[in-house]
């Protein structure tokens, strides 16, 4: 029985796949957009109710608990380990608790029944611009 040997076409295909993979991986090593940059930025937790600014809190390593109380109900957020998560709410579906722990600028937690939005932004001294408001 003859052993299965790789043909010239197989080697060319493997080489092309490796080159394409490296084309996506190598630029990340040399880019300025490193994870260290995210840790050095002055990140802030922005809270909005009914699409209007409600509160701004610094994103810190230390644990902070904050309760948002409106006429529709309450939501409790926990800021810790340079991230934020919704840990309690009295809305009927509790979908807002499923967003998990968010740590990056642009990530968001939303409670539609209470019309509460919690997102991370960077304090650049400029007013924070929101792409869209639902409601």
> Domain of 57: which CATH number?
2.60.320.10
| 8 falls within a domain | no
Tell me the residue range of the domain where 102 lies. Answer: 40-122
| 68 falls within a domain | yes
* pLDDT score at 3: 60
Q: Which long-range contacts (CB under 8 A, 24 or more apart) does 44-48 make?
A: 44/120, 44/121, 44/122, 44/123, 45/77, 45/79, 45/84, 45/118, 45/119, 45/120, 46/118, 46/119, 46/120, 46/121, 46/128, 47/77, 47/116, 47/117, 47/118, 48/116, 48/117, 48/118, 48/119
0.75 surpassed by pTM? no
| 115 falls within a domain | yes
Segment 41-47 shows an average pLDDT of 87
* Count of domains observed in the chain: 1
Given a cut of 70, is residue 79 above it in pLDDT? yes
The pLDDT confidence band at residue 32, using thresholds 50, 70 and 90, is low
| 54 falls within a domain | yes
The pLDDT confidence band at residue 62, using thresholds 50, 70 and 90, is very high
């Amino acid at each position: 029985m003859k052993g299965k040997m790789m043909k010239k076409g197989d080697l060319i295909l493997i080489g092309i796949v490796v080159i394409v993979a490296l084309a996506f991986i190598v630029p990340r090593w040399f880019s300025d957009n490193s994870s260290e940059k995210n840790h050095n930025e002055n990140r802030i937790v922005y809270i909005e109710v009914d699409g209007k600014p409600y509160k701004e809190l610094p994103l810190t390593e230390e644990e902070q608990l904050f309760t948002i109380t409106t006429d529709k109900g309450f939501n409790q957020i926990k800021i810790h380990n340079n991230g934020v998560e919704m840990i309690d709410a009295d809305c009927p579906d509790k979908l807002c608790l499923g967003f998990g722990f968010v740590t990056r600028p642009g990530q968001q937690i939303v409670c539609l029944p209470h019309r509460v939005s919690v997102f991370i932004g960077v304090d650049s001294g400029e007013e924070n611009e929101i792409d869209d408001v639902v409601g």
